[in-house]
Amino acid sequence: MSEPEDVLLDTWIEEAQNLLTSVRTTLLGPVCAAAHLLNETLRVGRTVYACGNGGSAAQAQHFSAEFLNRFERERRPLAAVALTTDTSTLTAIANDYSYEEIFSKQVQALGRPGDVLLALSTSGRSANVNRAVRTAQEQGLRVLALTGRDGGPLAAMLRPERDLELRIPHANTARIQEGHLLLLHCLCGLIDRSWAPA
């Protein structure tokens, strides 16, 4: 017999609360470092590109929208591009080459040294995201990776001296995505404070 709905809901909410506590105790410093990286990038006129699949694609688009428009404070628009939105480009690359190249080809065309690639992957095993990371590194971009579980191959690709990882240490995809959304909102809030008029 399956668990009653209220017991399931209570379990999920408790998991989310425990996750928030974990983020609070382990990721405050790394989130501040990530915000500093994004601020440095924007202040020298460079761009933040974002990519991911499924729910992570939605979060990449959400992040980009908060930068281009605003988060909670009035400020100038900030340069961010979600690589997940141009269906003509995505389908052309997937059809002519492979789905694994849908982000890397865009990074190759648009990315410049000093830009940042925000790579979202709950498993760290998304072949197209990882290929984009490799291309970004080859072209002089820095990488900010949001991962989960053990970080997967994506975590192993990162260069400690140039790249950053914000990892949600959980096995459940939904909890990881909830953690990622919290981290993205924290980053947006810190960026807002830096760019909003006094």
- Whether residue 198 is predicted with pLDDT greater than 80 in this model: the reply is no
- Predicted local confidence at residue 1, as pLDDT: 61
**How far is 85 from 155, CA to CA, in rounded Å?**
25
Cβ contact 73:83 at 8 Å: no
Architecture of domain 5-195: 3-Layer(aba) Sandwich (3.40)
The tens digit of pLDDT for each residue in 103-122 reads 999 999 999 999 999 999 99
> What's the pLDDT tens digit per position in 156-178?
999 999 999 999 989 999 999 99
Cβ atoms of 82 and 64 within 8 Å: the answer is yes
Is residue 181 packed enough to be buried (19+ CB in 10 Å), middle (13-18) or exposed (0-12)?
middle
Q: What is the pLDDT of residues 37-55, one digit of tens each?
A: 999 999 999 999 999 999 9
